Amino acid sequence: MPTTNTPTTQQHWLESAGGYFSGIIMLHGTQHRVITAPADQGQFKGQWLPEYDDVPGARSFFDSAANTRAMAEAGSVIAQRALAANINGFTDWVIPARDVLEVMYRAHKPTTDKNWIYRGDNPSSVPVGYPYTADAPARTADKDFQKGGAQAFLSDWYWSSTQSSSDGAWFQHFRHGNQNVLNKHFELQVRLARLIPL
């Protein structure tokens, strides 16, 4: 969590930033706050792309906006929906890049399940994230984000906006944290985010 000039309540973040504070990411040398969209407006399901087209502009592990724009230009419906979103008066919502999505898992893990210990490294987060242990990160203390809560991530796979190859893109599972690559035509969950420079 940030330590300077940072409101501490999720309600404040919802009112002032349109969503919920999740952590900090480095983006082109500048720290950015990661804001998770409310579930009822910023969560949906879809294909990354229906075809196995290479999207060279969507390879960043941290630049969610560049990835999302490249996806949209390539015909991704979920990316087009993200760019068209107007949530609580904000219109700069994106599909989180791989490392941004990991920050969201680390902050809002909904379950008490053991973590997939071979994943979780995050060179872009502040502080830098190291691979998970079985028990860390633990389930979030925020009841709204715990399983069954109004803002909780589903115990399911979520797309990132980071392409791995022409065939696949990165995802993160929100029950146990597994990060991996899946064929783009599968329909996975999406949870939108904003990134605000510090």
Per-residue model confidence (pLDDT) at position 121: 94
pTM over 0.75? The answer is yes
Contact 100, 62 (CB under 8 A): yes
Please write the tens of the pLDDT for every residue from 23-45. 999 999 999 999 999 999 999 99
Sequence-distant (≥ 6) Cβ neighbours of residue 163 within 8 angstroms: 54, 55, 58, 59, 67, 169, 170
* pLDDT attached to residue 8: 57
How far apart CA 193 and CA 19 sit, in angstroms, is 8
Upper half-sphere CA count for residue 54 (Cβ side, 13 Å): 2
Residue 18 vs residue 12, higher pLDDT? 18
% the chain with pLDDT above 90: 89
Would the pLDDT of 106 be above 70?
yes
pLDDT at 2: 39
Domain ranges across the chain: 10-197
Q: What is the pLDDT of residue 12?
A: 82
pLDDT of 5 strictly over 50: no
Q: Mean pLDDT, the chain, as a whole number? A: 94
